[in-house]
């Protein structure tokens, strides 16, 4: 992760949602995984009561996964205490343990056996953190550890976060990013593609690359997005945080994580802002913001968990990495409202996620949406579907989109295309 690399922090992340149905998965069943980097430091989970309070606070903000701190790491006893507290709160935990990263570096399998003995029986365990941003020369070592853990604990997957697409060939270890992702997924045997990219000119390029690589290897992908000012990145507003998550969902992402939950870089306040929780353990104004953002992401993301992204296109002024509306797509926008639109299919319904690509201003748009053998339905804030038109060939729909927000429609398959 670039921020961690540049700031020389050692982070441990949330666990992952496994693609294989037999696995327990990271988030509770049927939920969109929503997590973060940088959980409560060791001093704030020093006893059972403190750990329980912190895990409950994480759950109340709409997160269903918890991560260890960025510094210093938990010891075994603290990991176990947090796992117990997380079970009470109904969330999952990624475990970071020095023995895991040592094993990737060439340690013994006896270390992995000890890790399994210490954690595998805890119901709140989501998975095992193995490292961050590997170059290609580490892929085979990661794969060996992934294989060993999977053979002995198939319920709990391994997690690694990879380099974003603006890395240099020297950092990647290959000439281009697509090759890096293909080799990583093909060699490591990992069951999730996770990467971090904050809003820059390459944001959509990286989303498209991750979606394509994940689809080619039959795994889901997650994106880590920005919640805390640091280095050259400004503090995102609530709408900007919502925008980051909605764009990830529109491209087919199956998990969203925020950097960071707990405030880090306390010794360097000029380069690091306050996070969702400040360094003293107090909720900042971001806490209520992220609670609302997570609720919106969970509602839409949960509805799309079992659906496959057919394609994603953009309306309005084009941006790098985006495609225009394909001819015959089942939705068409009247006018040039800046939107990102993801089209999904779960074998029963066709879903259309319409998101506002403007993170500053609310927008309205008129859409022509194809309707199948059932009425066109819209997902409401409470998670229930309501009809907005009768069945037919196409329906004009008015969409009111808050800054950075989105709305999800569905209709039963088959659906006739809409001409150009």
How far are the Cα atoms of 12, 141, 156, 323, 343 from residue 125, in angstroms, in the given order?
A: 14, 23, 7, 39, 33
In the three-class reduction of DSSP (H, G, I as helix; E, B as strand; rest coil), residue 160 is classed as strand
State the pLDDT at residue 186.
Answer: 97
Tell me the per-residue pLDDT of 260-309, one tens digit each, with 9 for 90 and over: 999 998 888 889 999 999 999 999 999 999 999 999 999 999 999 999 99
Burial class of residue 384, CB neighbours in 10 A (0-12, 13-18, 19+):
exposed
Tell me the per-residue pLDDT of 136-192, one tens digit each, with 9 for 90 and over: 999 999 999 999 999 999 999 999 999 999 999 999 999 999 999 999 999 999 999
pTM, to two decimals:
0.93
Q: How far apart are CA 177 and CA 151, in angstroms?
A: 30
Contacts of 67 (CB under 8 A, 6+ apart): 11, 12, 13, 14, 35, 36, 37, 38, 39, 93, 94, 96, 261
Tell me if 127 sits within 8 A of 94, measured CB to CB: yes
Tell me the per-residue pLDDT of 34-51, one tens digit each, with 9 for 90 and over: 999 999 999 999 999 999
Read off the pLDDT of each residue in 116-135 and give the average, rounded to a whole number: 96
Tell me if 143 sits within 8 A of 96, measured CB to CB: no
State the pLDDT at residue 200.
Answer: 86
- DSSP 8-class letter at 241: H
In the three-class reduction of DSSP (H, G, I as helix; E, B as strand; rest coil), residue 162 is classed as strand
Residue 18 reports pLDDT greater than 80: no
Tell me if 341 sits within 8 A of 352, measured CB to CB: yes
Which of 265, 248, 232, 332 is closest to 33 using CA atoms?
248
Q: How far apart are CA 232 and CA 69, in angstroms?
A: 23
Which of 193, 200, 198 is closest to 219 using CA atoms?
193
Scan for tokens 């790491």, then name that residue: 73
Which of 352, 357, 359, 348 is closest to 418 using CA atoms?
352
* φ, ψ dihedrals at 46, nearest 5°: -75, -15
As given in the structure block, the two tokens for residue 419 are: 């001409």
């Amino acid at each position: 992760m670039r921020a961690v690399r540049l700031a020389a922090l050692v982070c441990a992340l949330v666990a992952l949602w496994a693609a294989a149905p037999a696995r327990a998965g990271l988030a509770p069943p049927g939920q969109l995984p929503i997590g973060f980097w940088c959980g409560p430091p060791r001093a704030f989970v020093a006893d059972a009561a403190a750990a329980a309070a912190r895990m409950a606070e994480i759950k109340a903000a709409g997160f269903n996964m918890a991560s260890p701190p960025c510094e210093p790491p938990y010891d075994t006893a603290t990991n176990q205490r947090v796992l117990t507290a997380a079970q009470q709160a109904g969330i999952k935990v990624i475990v970071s343990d020095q023995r895991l990263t040592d094993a990737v570096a060439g340690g013994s399998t006896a270390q992995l056996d000890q890790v399994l003995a210490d954690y595998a029986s805890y119901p709140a365990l989501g998975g095992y953190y193995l490292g961050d941003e590997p170059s290609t020369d580490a892929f085979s070592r990661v794969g060996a550890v992934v294989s060993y853990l999977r053979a002995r604990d198939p319920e709990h997957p391994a997690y690694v976060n990879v380099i974003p697409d603006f890395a240099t060939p020297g950092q990647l270890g290959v000439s281009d990013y697509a090759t890096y992702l293909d080799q990583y997924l093909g060699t490591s045997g990992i069951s999730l593609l996770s990467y971090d990219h904050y809003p820059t000119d390459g944001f959509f390029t990286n989303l498209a690359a991750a979606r394509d690589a994940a689809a080619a290897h039959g795994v889901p992908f997650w994106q880590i997005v920005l919640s805390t000012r640091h280095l050259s990145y400004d503090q995102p507003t609530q709408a900007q945080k919502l925008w980051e998550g909605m764009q990830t969902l529109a491209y087919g992402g199956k998990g969203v994580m925020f950097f960071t939950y707990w405030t880090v870089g306390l010794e360097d306040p000029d380069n690091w802002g306050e996070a969702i929780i400040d360094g003293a353990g107090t909720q900042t104004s971001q806490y209520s913001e992220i609670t609302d953002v997570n609720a919106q992401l969970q509602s839409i993301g949960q509805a799309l968990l079992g659906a496959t992204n057919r394609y994603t296109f953009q309306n309005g002024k084009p941006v790098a990495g985006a495609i225009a509306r394909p001819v015959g797509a089942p939705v068409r926008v009247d006018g040039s409202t800046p939107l990102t639109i993801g089209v999904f299919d779960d074998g029963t319904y066709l879903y259309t996620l319409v998101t506002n690509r403007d993170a500053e201003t609310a927008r309205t748009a008129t859409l022509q949406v194809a309707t199948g053998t059932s009425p066109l339905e819209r997902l409401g804030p409470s998670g229930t579907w309501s009809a907005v038109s009768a069945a037919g060939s196409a329906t004009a729909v008015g969409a009111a989109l808050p800054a950075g927000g989105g709305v999800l429609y569905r209709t039963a398959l088959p659906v006739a295309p809409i001409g150009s």
